C-alpha cells in the first residue's frame, strides 16, 4: 500500500466521485459534541467530528481514528444511526461526501471528561447557526438536538 495522495490529486479525484466519510456523533447528557472547523471551505463552521474513510479501513476503526484526530478522545461506538449527504458541497463545486453516522459516547469511564471550549469543541443541546444545514437537519430529525 502506498502513502497518502498528494493534495492536488486527492481533490481532483474527489471532485468527480463520492467520498465516503464517517460522522462521529458524540452524545451525552450535555448534548451533542461539535467541533469548529479550522481551515478549508468549512472554516469556522461547527460540525460533527468526521473524516474520510481510508482504503480497506473498517468503518468502526475509522470512527475511532477520526475521534482521536478530531477531538483527542477515545469513543465507544453505540450504533449506526444513518447517513448524511452534502449537496451544499456539490453546489460549491467541492466534492460529494456521504457520511455514515455513528452514535458514540466518550470512553472515559463516565462523565464528559473532555477539554471543551467555545473556540474549538463544545456541547450543544440547541444547535448553533454556524453549521452545515445537512448536519442540523440530520441531528434534529433523530431527536439528538434542537
- The answer for residues whose C-beta is within 8 angstroms of residue 24's C-beta and 6 or more apart is 48, 49, 50, 63, 66, 67, 70, 71, 75, 102, 104
Nearest C-alpha neighbor of 129 from the set 105, 112, 145, 115:
145
The answer to whether residue 101 is domain-embedded is yes
How many folded domains does the chain comprise?
1
- Model-level pTM? 0.84
Mean pLDDT of the chain: 86
The answer to whether residue 2 is domain-embedded is no
pLDDT band (50, 70, 90) for residue 116: low
The answer to whether residue 4 is domain-embedded is no
CA 2, CA 115: separation in Å to the nearest integer?
Answer: 35
The pLDDT value recorded for residue 24 is: 98
The answer to whether residue 102 is domain-embedded is yes
The answer to whether residue 114 is domain-embedded is no
The answer to whether residue 88 is domain-embedded is yes
The answer to whether residue 98 is domain-embedded is yes
* Whether the predicted pLDDT of 117 surpasses 80: no
* Dihedral pair phi/psi, residue 120, rounded to 5°: -135, -50
Is 123 within 8 Å of 112 (Cβ atoms)? yes
More confident residue, 100 or 43: 100
* CATH code: domain of residue 41: 3.90.79.10
Nearest C-alpha neighbor of 31 from the set 45, 18, 46, 19:
46
Residue 99, domain extent: 12-108+119-141
- pLDDT single digits (tens) 104-113: 999 876 555 5
C-alpha cell at 110: 463516565
Amino acid at each position: 500500500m502506498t502513502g497518502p495522495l498528494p493534495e492536488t490529486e486527492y481533490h481532483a479525484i474527489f471532485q468527480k466521485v463520492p467520498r465516503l466519510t464517517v460522522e462521529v456523533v458524540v452524545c451525552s447528557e450535555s448534548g451533542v459534541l461539535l467541533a469548529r472547523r479550522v481551515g478549508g471551505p468549512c472554516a469556522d463552521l461547527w460540525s460533527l467530528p468526521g473524516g474520510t474513510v481510508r482504503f480497506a479501513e473498517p468503518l468502526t476503526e475509522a470512527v475511532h481514528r477520526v475521534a482521536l484526530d478530531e477531538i483527542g478522545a477515545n469513543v465507544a461506538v453505540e450504533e449506526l444511526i444513518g447517513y448524511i449527504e452534502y449537496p451544499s458541497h456539490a453546489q460549491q463545486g467541492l466534492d460529494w461526501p456521504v457520511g455514515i453516522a455513528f452514535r458514540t459516547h466518550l470512553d472515559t469511564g463516565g462523565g464528559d471528561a473532555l477539554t471543551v471550549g467555545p473556540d474549538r469543541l463544545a456541547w450543544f443541546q440547541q444547535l448553533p447557526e454556524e453549521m452545515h444545514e445537512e448536519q442540523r437537519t440530520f441531528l434534529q430529525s433523530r431527536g439528538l438536538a434542537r
